Amino acid sequence: MEIKSVIMAAGKGTRMKSQTPKVLHEIFGKPLLGYILDNVKNITSENFVIVGHCAEQVKNFVEGNYANAQTILQSPQLGTGHAVSMACPMLKDFKGLVLILNGDIPLITEETLKKFIEFHKGENSDLTIMSAIFDNPSGLGRIIRETDNTLKCIVEEKDTTPEQKAIKEINVGIYCLDWAKVQPAFSQLSNNNAQGEYYLTDIIEWGKKHGLKVNAYIMENNEESFGINSRLHLAEATKIMQKRINEKHMINGVTIVDPATTYISADTEIGQDTVIYPATYIEGRNIIGKNCKIGPCAHLRGGVEIADNVKIGNFVEVKKSKINSNTNAGHLSYIGDSEVGAHVNIGAGTITANYNPLTKEKSKTVLKDNVKVGSNTVLVAPVTVEEGANIGALSVITKNVPEWALALTRSPMRVIVDWVKNQMKQ
């Protein structure tokens, strides 16, 4: 059965206190909304992102990075039920399932979403919500079930009886709908409430009233339900994701010397027997091979491909570069927009000057196999150093260097005998 999604990303996120829309705040270089879109891309055929606040920014991110996603403007913003109704014209004749998610829950996983959908199908549900169990559900809406364990309703805490308040199951805010059966609800929702908004939760009452089978699926790991509403939440989610990602890599054969100070993006692949040393930060999408040594205090900024047996040492930054096997960049260097061959040695303090501030263009540096670069060298791109060439320390390389040549740009050394003593006499 075909599945599509509606992702709500129209809110301002007032508590973030930011000019950036909440869903574009990042964890490891990826916006919160990106985590949602990545987790549904193998499940859904098409995704509709409801935008409102800073709509153009969110639209540019979505449509610039996801071929199977498009944005729909919600203006004015009249509640969660109204947000989903914005997608109804696009889904007018759709007969499959629709997933509804919030754009600020980056910890939800593809595996959990698949289990949720399988539960929906297995129970022959028409409408299923995702729930979670919390020891302390204070402030959250409670899940009320029928005697047959199907969903009866959601009661907000302020409206609960003492018996209902003791319930620990809460609404996560993720829905799976048999769209053909539930779509009519969105034209029949009422805004007869204090806020004058159309609430998505009201489709549960609508479904019960119209004889639909309504269920609640309890997620296995309640931390996946964590929503981001503030900078404090963002930091907390980052720590949860850091632990989750590091544990995955260690289980798969990667040594992480100090997981507490190591940050690795969800989109980074790492081969077995690679060692990640403390205070290393890896963001964006990267591939790191086997038997590599990364760090300490290294920074990979995305778009990096590192082959086997490579060393990226302390205070080395790499961005949008490909580095082939058995190459070392041990100390205090920047490698950006570069292609580095095998068996290359990059001396301490080497800089690839890849950015032209006047034209705003970035150019490429190419170091072929067996190149040796001396310390404190600047390679001014675009430039190519051919196979086997050596660069003398303290050089500024502005032209291509032929294979097996030595390139130098520093002045000859001068020694002035007794200069210091003479200065002291004055």
Residue 250 lies in a domain: yes
Domain that holds residue 24: 3-225
Residue 394: which residues within 8 A CB-CB, separation 6 or more? 374, 375, 376, 377, 409, 410
One domain for residues 216 and 332: no
One domain for residues 124 and 209: yes
Tabulate helix, strand, coil % of the chain (nearest 5). 25, 30, 45
pLDDT tens digits, one per residue of 13-27: 899 999 999 999 999
Where a domain ends, among 200, 225, 250? 225
Mean pLDDT in residue range 44-52? 97
Contact status, residue 279 vs residue 297, Cβ threshold 8 Å = yes
- Chain centroid to Cα 320, Å, comes to 17
Count CA within 13 A, CB hemisphere, residue 419.
4
Q: Is the pLDDT of residue 192 over 80?
A: yes
Q: Is the pLDDT of residue 229 over 80?
A: yes
Active site residues: 331
The β-bridge partners of 151 are 145
The Cα 289–Cα 275 span in angstroms is 11
- CATH number of the domain where residue 371 is located: 2.160.10.10
Residue 411's pLDDT is what?
86
Q: Is the pLDDT of residue 12 over 80?
A: yes
Residue 95 lies in a domain: yes
38 exposure class (CB count in 10 Å sphere: 0-12, 13-18, 19+): middle
Enter the pTM of the model. 0.91
% of the chain beyond a pLDDT of 90: 93
Residue 425 lies in a domain: no
The Cα 371–Cα 345 span in angstroms is 7
One domain for residues 212 and 263: no
One domain for residues 143 and 274: no
Residue 270: in which H helix or E strand, if any?
strand 268-270
- CATH number of the domain where residue 71 is located: 3.90.550.10
Please identify which residue in the block is written with the tokens 């039920």: 81
Mean pLDDT in residue range 103-129? 97
Number of domains in the chain: 2
The Cα 207–Cα 190 span in angstroms is 14
